[in-house]
Amino acid sequence: MAQNEVRVSGFGGQGVIMAASIIGKAASIFNNQFATMTQAFGPEARGSSCSAQVVISDDQILYPYVRNTDILVAMSQEAFDKFFPEMRENAVLLYESDLVKLCKLKPGQKSYGIPATRLAEEMGRSIVTNIIMVGFFAAAGGAIGYEAVRKAVEDSVPPGTEKLNLKAFQTGYEYGAKLLGKGGAA
C-alpha cells in the first residue's frame, strides 16, 4: 500500500487550507486515489498558526490523521518549528525560503525551498502564494503528478481567477522542476 502523509502549514491568511484541499482533490478526483483532509487553525484566523493534514493512499484510509509526515510544506517559521519534529527519516520538506530558516535535517531527509511570496508579489498578487506552493509541491513532492494537480487547481479556484491561478501554479511547478533538474513545464 502506497501512502503519503502530507502536512501543509503556515499562518492564517496564506491559503494553507485551500492548498491542502487542492492536494486532496488532485489525489482523490484526478488521480484515482483515496485522500482525507483535516485542518487546524487558531481562533484569531489571520496571522495565527494554521495547518492541514492530507493523507493520500492507493487503498482505503483507516486513520485520517498524520502521524509521521512524509511531505511537510512549511510556509512560516512557526509552522516549520512546530511540525519539523514529526517528519519521517526520509521525508521531504518544501518550504518558503524567504520566511523559514532551517535547522539541521535528519539523515535521509530532503529539503527544497522556494521564495513563493516573492514570486507571487512579482506577479502582482500575493494572494496566489499558496498556489505557487501547490505547483512546487507537484514538482518536488513526488506524491501526485503534474496534470492531476493542475486540474485540481483549475477546478478549485474562484471563477474568473483560473488564468491567474494556473499561471501561479505553473510558476511554482517550473521553479521546482528547475531546482530538481527536471527541465521546464510538463
Q: Is residue 73 part of a domain?
A: yes
Over range 148-164, report the average pLDDT. Answer: 97
In order of 61, 65, 115, 141, the CA distances from 133 in angstroms are 25, 22, 9, 10
**pTM, rounded to two decimals:** 0.92
Residue 184 counted as domain residue: no
- pLDDT, tens digit (0-9, with 9 covering 90-100), for 45-93: 566 778 999 999 999 998 888 889 999 999 999 999 999 999 999 999 9
The answer to whether residue 174 is domain-embedded is yes
* 186 part of a folded domain: no
Q: Closest Cα to residue 172, out of 148, 141, 143, 139?
A: 139
Q: Give the domain CATH number at 121.
A: 3.40.920.10
Q: Total domain count for the chain?
A: 1
Under 8 Å CB-to-CB from 138, ≥6 apart: which residues? 26, 144, 145, 146, 149, 150, 169, 172, 173, 176
| Confidence at 2, pLDDT banded by 50, 70, 90 | confident
For residues 128 and 60, what is the distance between their CA atoms, to the nearest angstrom?
32
Domain range for residue 74?
Answer: 3-179
Give the whole-angstrom CA distance, residue 148 versus residue 150: 5
What are the grid coordinates assigned to 171, written together?
510558476
Listed ranges 100-109, 140-149, 171-180; the one with the highest mean pLDDT: 171-180
CA distance 44 to 145: 35
Residue pair 85/104 in contact (Cβ under 8 Å)? The answer is no
φ/ψ of 144, rounded to 5, equals: -140, 145
